[in-house]
Amino acid sequence: DTEVTQTPKHLVMGMTNKKSLKCEQHMGHRAMYWYKQKAKKPPELMFVYSYEKLSINESVPSRFSPECPNSSLLNLHLHALQPEDSALYLCASSLGGPSGSGETQYFGPGTRLLVL
Amino acid sequence: KQEVTQIPAALSVPEGENLVLNCSFTDSAIYNLQWFRQDPGKGLTSLLLIQSSQREQTSGRLNASLDKSSGRSTLYIAASQPGDSATYLCAVSGAGNMLTFGGGTRLMVKP
């Protein structure tokens, strides 16, 4: 099973709402990632988790709050978002070996978020 | 800071043509380079991964080459088909497995 799943597929939320995005993999991977992709732009890294610990935060605003409850699950909690946060949010995972570099990342289908 | 550029930004070809997509990067200290395919509104599908010590990888009609010293990679697609229409992204992997993506090439293969 080389699948990364993401729910929901689509999400519409107001600026005062609180919502969460969910990502799951059962490949035994220990590194998981959140990317943000605006329309017609490449994905941009937001967060990296390694062995359930946050290892990289690419200066993401605090209205985005990641959480890794266990090695298979990665959440992204959203609060007080702005319309410019509307984008495709992609989750990925990789093996998470000792060096953590040079590994294939497997991407999920993404959650398309619209903030009104 | 690593910068990745893809040329051309868009490409339209008739079915059956062989084509080459280009990717260049500014910092040669990479661990690997990946080529992805993305259909509209969808996630990324990994096509080929070339480790920094390798020169090329092949999968079916796809062949990717890597010249790390010059900071270049090409993706060759043989006998293109309408089903190949998608955006193709290259990404280089740096320390911590951080991927830096190029802007992508939007490919349209006309029947």
**CA B95/CA B31 separation, integer angstroms:** 8
A95 touches chain B (CB under 8 A): no
Chain A residues touching B94 at Cβ < 8 A: 101
- Diameter of chain B measured on Cα atoms: 42
Beta-carbon separation of A101 and B49 below 8 A: no
Q: What is the CA radius of gyration of chain B?
A: 13
A27 touching B, CB under 8 A? no
Structure tokens at A14: 């107001």
Number of Cβ pairs < 8 A linking chain A and chain B: 62
Question: Residues A86-113: what's their mean pLDDT?
Answer: 86
Could you check whether the bond before residue B8 is cis, i.e. omega within 30 degrees of 0? Answer: yes
Q: Which chain A residue shows the shortest CA-CA distance from B104?
A: A42
Who among A100, A105, A108 is closest to B99 (CB)?
A105
Q: Which residues of A78-87 are buried (b: 16+ CB within 10 A; e: fewer)?
A: beebeeebbb
Contact A77, A68 (CB under 8 A): no
Render pLDDT for A25-66 as a digit per residue (tens, 0 to 9): 999 999 999 999 998 899 999 999 999 999 888 889 999 999
Measured CA to CA, the distance from residue A20 to residue A65 in angstroms comes to 9
Mean pLDDT of B36-63: 93
Average pLDDT over residues B91-96: 85
Coil, helix or strand at residue B48: strand
- Which positions in chain B touch A107 (Cβ < 8 Å)? 36, 43-46
CB A88, CB A20: distance < 8 Å: no
Quick one: what percent of chain A has pLDDT higher than 90? Answer: 77
The burial of A22, by beta-carbon neighbours within 10 Å (0-12 exposed, 13-18 middle, 19 or more buried), is given as: middle
A106 lies within 8 A of chain B by CB: yes
What distance in Å separates the CA atoms of residue A49 and residue A44, rounded to the nearest whole number? 15
Span between the terminal Cα atoms of chain A, in Å? 36
pLDDT at A2 over 90: no
Please give the residue of chain A at the shortest CA–CA distance from B45.
A107
- Name every chain A residue with its beta carbon within 8 A of the beta carbon of B102: 42
Instruction: Evaluate the CA torsion angle A47, A49, A54, A56 in order and state its sign.
Output: negative
List, for residues B21-41, the tens digit of each pLDDT value: 999 999 999 999 999 999 988
